[in-house]
């Protein structure tokens, strides 16, 4: 089933499919205001296992749509970092709502992530700087996510609107 999405029955609705021809004809704006044909959409409750399932579904959908393997791999890595940050930091491991849209904007995958968690400190996205690590055996477990996101994604934007964090980014196809 290509272009799967969660139904309109709220955050826990049943899955339903969007056919490829319907997806390709749709140029309307989604709820996050990103133009282009909708390839993938999910509303889900934040959690480690749920994030893994959403990423597996995304990967399968993008593979079915014949997108370049490098773009699929980069999208999965970037979105894994973003979604895990939402789970860990915006919601501090507590349940919370996340919505993900992925659209084909003609030059890449336009991704929008919305959550109702706490905002970034001072409402500013973290930078991509890496801390100095010496010696290498003291490598921290985390702290690389924003470096990865900023290295692989382009057109990265964040805003806080109506009590929601909205993060938009683009994954290049090439």
Kindly report the average pLDDT of the chain as a whole number.
Answer: 79
- Domains within the chain, CATH numbers bracketed: 5-172 (3.30.565.10)
- C-alpha distances in angstroms, 92 versus 15, 116, 147? 27, 12, 21
pTM of the model: 0.77
The pLDDT tens digits of the residues spanning 14-66 come to: 233 333 333 333 433 344 566 789 999 999 999 989 999 999 999 999 999 99
Q: Are 142 and 133 in contact (CB under 8 A)?
A: no
Average pLDDT over residues 147-166: 92
Beta-sheet pairing, 108-115 with 38-45: unpaired
The pLDDT tens digits of the residues spanning 67-123 come to: 999 999 999 999 999 999 999 999 998 999 999 999 999 889 999 999 999 998 777
């Amino acid at each position: 089933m290509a272009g799967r999405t969660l139904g309109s029955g709220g955050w826990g609705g049943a899955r339903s499919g969007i056919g490829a021809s319907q997806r390709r004809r749709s140029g309307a704006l989604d709820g996050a205001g990103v133009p282009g044909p909708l390839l993938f959409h999910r509303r889900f409750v934040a959690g480690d296992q749920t994030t893994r399932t959403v990423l597996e579904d995304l990967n399968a959908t993008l593979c079915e749509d014949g997108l370049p393997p490098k773009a699929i791999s980069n999208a999965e890595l970037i979105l894994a970092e973003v979604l895990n940050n939402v789970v860990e930091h915006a919601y501090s491991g507590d349940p919370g709502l996340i919505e993900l849209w992925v659209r084909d904007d003609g030059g890449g995958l336009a991704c929008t992530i919305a959550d109702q968690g706490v905002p970034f400190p001072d409402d500013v996205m973290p930078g991509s700087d890496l801390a100095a690590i010496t010696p290498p055996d003291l490598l921290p477990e985390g702290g690389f996510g924003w470096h990865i996101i900023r290295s692989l994604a382009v057109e990265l934007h964040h805003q806080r609107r109506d009590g929601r964090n909205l993060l938009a980014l683009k994954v290049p196809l090439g």
